[in-house]
Each structure stands twice: as structure tokens, then as C-alpha cells.
Amino acid sequence: MKFITIRQFSRSLSKYISLSSNGDDIVITKNGHPVALLSEFAEDDIEDFILAKHFDLENEFEMAKAELLRNETVSLYELLSQDE
């Protein structure tokens, strides 16, 4: 794991992205405090990441499906015409 400042990161983006792509985790700091983590990320992991980070998302999908079954939704056309 490597710690770098935002300034270091901004000056060498490709270098640090390459390092993270090779499995090195990089903590980006601002004023001496960690603010971001640059880590290797595989395309196949995106769905798991989204569900892990936004744990209520699955519940929201279920609620939306239930609303749809109860005909409590409006079409996109109806929604857009409400703003006019």
C-alpha cells in the first residue's frame, strides 16, 4: 500500500493507475488525511461493488417492481409532460 498526495496523483495519473492495475493499493491524501483509495478493479466486479456500496439498492428495486405490479407508476412520456 502506497500513500500519495493529491498533487502527486494529479501529476502522474497514468503511473498510479498502472500501479493500481497491477494490484497495488494507493491511498490518496489531502492535508495529511486519507480521502480516496485507488485500487485494482475488474469489470466483472462492478455489480458486486454497487450492491455492496449501496445496500438499499436491491430493496429499492423490489419496491419499484411492486409499484409496477400495482400500476402505481407513470410512463416516461407522462413524467416528462408534467414538467411543461
Q: Write out pLDDT tens, residues 5-51.
A: 999 999 999 999 999 999 999 999 999 999 999 999 888 888 888 87
Write down all domains in the chain, each with its CATH number in brackets: 2-38 (3.40.1620), 43-82 (no CATH)
pTM higher than the cut 0.85:
no
Residue 81 vs residues 14, 31, 36, 72, 74: alpha-carbon distances, Å = 45, 48, 41, 17, 11
Q: Position 31: which residue type?
A: N
